[in-house]
Homo-oligomer: A and B are copies of this chain.
Amino acid sequence: MPPRYAYLGPEGTFAEIALRSLAESRDADLIPVETVADAFAAVRDGSVEGAVVPFENSVEGAVTGTLDEFATGDPLHIAREMLVPVRLSLLARPGTDLGAIRVVASHPHATAQCRHWLRAHLPEARVHAAPSTAEAAAAVAEGADATDAAIASPAAGTRYGLAELVADIGDHQHAVTRFVLAVEPGPLPRPTGADRTTVVTLIADDHPGALLELLTEFAVRGVNLTRIESRPTGHGLGRYCFSIDCEGHIEDARVGDALAALHRFCEEVRFCGSYPRADGEAPRLRPGTSDGDFRAAAEWLDRARRGTA
């Protein structure tokens, strides 16, 4: 039986594009699911090997539903990350004229990224929110409701038999969405020298300065953060946990040491995986933070404790 992977569907989403970019997807069954929650549930109940979900977008920011799924429930790991350029097209049923478009549907993030184009070219059109860009395309194809056009990927246009009225209507060139492959915890991908590590930390005693202390634990070990998001814990305004990406692999001494330090004074540190960076960018190590430096220091400490340093 081939392996099965879920992705945030329906067919034609950027998530599908992300999944298809992975070698793992080659001979696998690719299963579209309706929500991020469904994707995580499928991994947790073992019905798929992994699930590809959006994590953050260079224009719209974090996908909070994904962050929250990693932060709560049974822990899952990120095994891979994929960067997918966001190419957004205005799609309609073949034969539709731009001037005739009254209602445009898309995922709100996509709509937001085309704000200026819409204002300039379709100032009168109403904008409807759809659960995903692909679902908007599907709805237009079905012609079931009053929607005349969708904002979605060219691939979604192909998938649903829509015409690409206008290509690249996003306001930001080079917009990109970062997807991750969520899997059951297990043996980690080997360090590649250009890795990223994701954790969620819940600060035990949420005093002023707690975030500063947390960042200091990374900084003293020369570990750079590439993303930090505060998310509510659900226990009232002003109570947050932090979702953090840092450079390096938990096998790297500096990264492991920093996370262990967090573990000592945080109520919870949830390790969400170490995995190769999609951009292949290797960190520049500060002097004194290499694995060799940590090993030499441990050996020195051992000698000092025996009185032979």
Query: A: which residues have CB within 8 A of B?
Result: 37, 56-61, 64-65, 75, 77, 83, 112, 115, 129-131, 145, 172, 174-176, 178, 185-188, 204-205, 208-209, 211-213, 215-217, 219-220, 224-232, 234-240, 250-251, 256, 259-261, 263-265, 269, 271, 287-289, 293-294, 296-298, 300-301, 304-309
User: Hey, which chain B residues are within 8 Å of A115, CB to CB?
Assistant: 37
User: Hey, which chain B residues are within 8 Å of A304, CB to CB?
Assistant: 250, 256, 259, 271
- Can you list 29 A-B contacts (CB < 8 A)? A58-B236, A58-B237, A58-B239, A60-B64, A65-B112, A129-B129, A172-B234, A175-B234, A187-B306, A188-B305, A208-B224, A208-B225, A209-B219, A211-B215, A211-B225, A212-B216, A220-B261, A227-B237, A227-B240, A228-B230, A260-B297, A260-B298, A260-B300, A261-B297, A263-B300, A263-B301, A264-B294, A265-B288, A265-B293
Please, which residue of chain B has its CB at the minimum distance from the CB of A213?
B220
In the bound complex, CA of A211 to CA of B219 (Å):
11
User: Hey, which chain B residues are within 8 Å of A208, CB to CB?
Assistant: 219, 224-225
User: Hey, which chain B residues are within 8 Å of A211, CB to CB?
Assistant: 215, 225, 228
Q: Is the CB of A61 within 8 A of B307?
A: no
Q: Is the CB of B264 within 8 A of A307?
A: no
User: Hey, which chain B residues are within 8 Å of A236, CB to CB?
Assistant: 58, 174, 176
- Given A215-B215, A236-B174, A260-B297, A271-B309 contact (CB < 8 Å): yes
Quick one: which of A75, A145, A287 has the most chain B CB within 10 A? A287
- Given A59-B232, A215-B211, A220-B213, A204-B287 contact (CB < 8 Å): yes
User: Hey, which chain B residues are within 8 Å of A306, CB to CB?
Assistant: 187
A257 → B minimal CB distance (Å): 8
- Given A178-B237, A260-B300, A287-B305 contact (CB < 8 Å): no
Would you call the interface of chain A mostly helix, strand, loop, or mixed? mixed
A8 → B minimal CB distance (Å): 14
User: Hey, which chain B residues are within 8 Å of A263, CB to CB?
Assistant: 296-297, 300-301
User: Hey, which chain B residues are within 8 Å of A265, CB to CB?
Assistant: 287-288, 293
- Given A220-B213, A232-B58, A264-B297, A256-B308 contact (CB < 8 Å): no
Please, which residue of chain B has its CB at the minimum distance from the CB of A55?
B237
Please, which residue of chain B has its CB at the minimum distance from the CB of A211?
B215
- Given A59-B232, A287-B204, A300-B260, A226-B238 contact (CB < 8 Å): yes
| 18 further A-B pairs in the complex, CB-CB below 8 A; given A77-B307, A251-B305 | A37-B115, A57-B232, A59-B234, A61-B232, A65-B112, A129-B131, A145-B145, A176-B237, A188-B307, A208-B224, A208-B225, A220-B261, A226-B238, A256-B304, A261-B297, A263-B296, A264-B289, A264-B296
A194 → B minimal CB distance (Å): 14
Please, which residue of chain B has its CB at the minimum distance from the CB of A212?
B215
